[in-house]
Structure 1
Amino acid sequence: MTHRPDPIRAHPGRRSRSDRARQVADVLRQQIAQGAVAAKLPAEAVLQREFSVSRNSIREALEILRREGLVDRLPGVGTVVRRPKLEHTIAATRGLAASLRGHGTVVNEVRTAGQVRPPTAVAAALGLEPGAHVCYIERLRRVDGEPISLDLTYLPLDIGTALLQADLETEDLFALIERAADDRLTTVSINLDAVNADEHCAALLGVTPGSALLVLQRATRLSDGAPACLEFVRMRGDRITLRMSAPAT
């Protein structure tokens, strides 16, 4: 029998300052997102004792959060929370607008809405034959006037036609779908990617080109399994954090 040596593991004490700073930043970022940190972070000395790392590691961690736009470092004041991210809980029957309403006034700017002939892949995702028309809705979502996401939504005609006459600026899209279909949304398939904002999208969302965006692709179905909509939602990575819970399998 061939002897396999035990894997080599780095000793915890030999880890770099940047490794430790990253660990600290991850915990602080979560605390800020959950509202556990109010207006101001504890002093560097307090954080140093809490995380058992050097003062330089703490300062590097705080600089990471500053570059992410989560905190400001103010001389004579300390590290203050700039603005916590807006939390979106991913669920089959909960759209982004529903998650954001508790954070301010949500308005959807409808950039276009009508019937289109979609790409073959979109038609297939909606259970349609190639060449079939669908309803297409594109909205720029704002919270208290600040652009947060760009939503591209495809719907079968039997559902989408009714939505074209609805109040797409203020009403939740999922609620409108359930009303039009007279059925419940029950299942969802989600893909999530991180991309860099192109110049056009960056201008719409009020960020610099190359900024981090989260792209949520979500296919939602009704209780009988029929496809209800296919969404591509571009969200600002500096303003939105995603949350999801699922039972253990």
Structure 2
Amino acid sequence: MRAGIPEHGRIPRYYAAKTELLALIEELGEGAPLPAERELAERYGVSRVTLRQAVGELVLEGRLIRRHGSRTVVAPPKLLQPLALVSYTEGMRAQGIEPGRTVITAEPMPADAQLAEDLGLEPGGEVVHLERVLLADGERVGLESSYLPRERFPELLGEFDASGSLYAFLREKLGVVFGEAEERIETVLATPREALLIGTNPATPMILLHRVSWTPEGEPIERVRSLYRGDRFSFATRLRARG
């Protein structure tokens, strides 16, 4: 494939229309409505069914947004979250975006075998579970579940405002120093519950991050599962050669 064109040179009609739409999106700019479906189908010489397929892909990719009761509009640029030991709050504020969280769960729970192993606990040891919907300028964009050893962080349930930054509380109030983390990334579809909490279509691709972090001395701090809308987020990191 070169620029989307297969080696045999035959381009699906929906893809040709999608390429035309991408050029139109760049011309229109963020928030602008697309012309009517009939007009676009005639302009690009395709059926309305073919045009809908092209538009549907661009919606899934986060280039267009379908709004209830109005036309499809050009989406804003994707939010960029660094793959680094920084909090969601820091990542959003670096882009001029106001972060927020809606608390779903803040409670103790027993750790299963895998969670206990990740956090250096005996199976059944208590952890604090924080489940929060992530907001960006008031828009729901993700769902985060954090698990921390309760015995090491007894202040969490009594003193921590779960609508705020967990990393800021750990650093500033408890003196926790993050040393390193291991992160795994995959693409998934949201469960019906997750889609409802985030307010997204269950067919929208999601980006799932699993992270375990430790102090510089190797003591586990947290395990976190972060689910982000694939149509609203991209991730970046800087790589260096070993040695």
Pair in the same fold by TM > 0.5: yes
Partner amino acid, structure 1, of 2:179 = T
Equivalent position of 1:143 in the other structure = 136
Partner amino acid, structure 2, of 1:100 = M
Structure 2 unaligned regions, length at least 5: 1-5, 32-43, 46-50, 66-71
2-structure distance, mates of 1:13, 1:137: 50
- Provide TM-score, normalisation by structure 2: 0.72
Identity %: 26
CA displacement, residues 94-137 of structure 1 (integer Å, 9 cap, x when unaligned):
02222122343221111111211021100100011112111111
Answer yes or no: is the 8 Å Cα contact 1:126–1:156 preserved in 2: yes
Tell me by how many angstroms 1:38 deviates.
6.1
Equivalent position of 2:38 in the other structure = none
Equivalent position of 2:200 in the other structure = 207
Tell me by how many angstroms 1:181 deviates.
4.6
1:14 is paired with a residue whose SS is: coil
- Indicate whether 1:169 and 2:163 are aligned: yes
Partner amino acid, structure 1, of 2:187 = A
Are the structure 2 counterparts of residues 103 and 206 from structure 1 closer, same or farther at C-alpha, using a change threshold of 3 Å? farther
2:207 is paired with a residue whose SS is: strand
Equivalent position of 2:88 in the other structure = 96
Worse-matched range after superposition: 225-234 or 144-153: 144-153
1-structure distance, mates of 2:82, 2:10: 35
Equivalent position of 1:127 in the other structure = 120
1-structure distance, mates of 2:151, 2:90: 24
Worse-matched range after superposition: 100-109 or 217-226: 100-109
2-structure distance, mates of 1:104, 1:169: 16
1:151 is paired with a residue whose SS is: strand
Equivalent position of 2:237 in the other structure = 244
Paired positions, count: 210
Structure 1 unaligned regions, length at least 5: 1-11, 41-54, 73-78
Tell me by how many angstroms 1:242 deviates.
1.2
2-structure distance, mates of 1:67, 1:234: 16
Partner amino acid, structure 2, of 1:133 = E
- Provide TM-score, normalisation by structure 1: 0.70
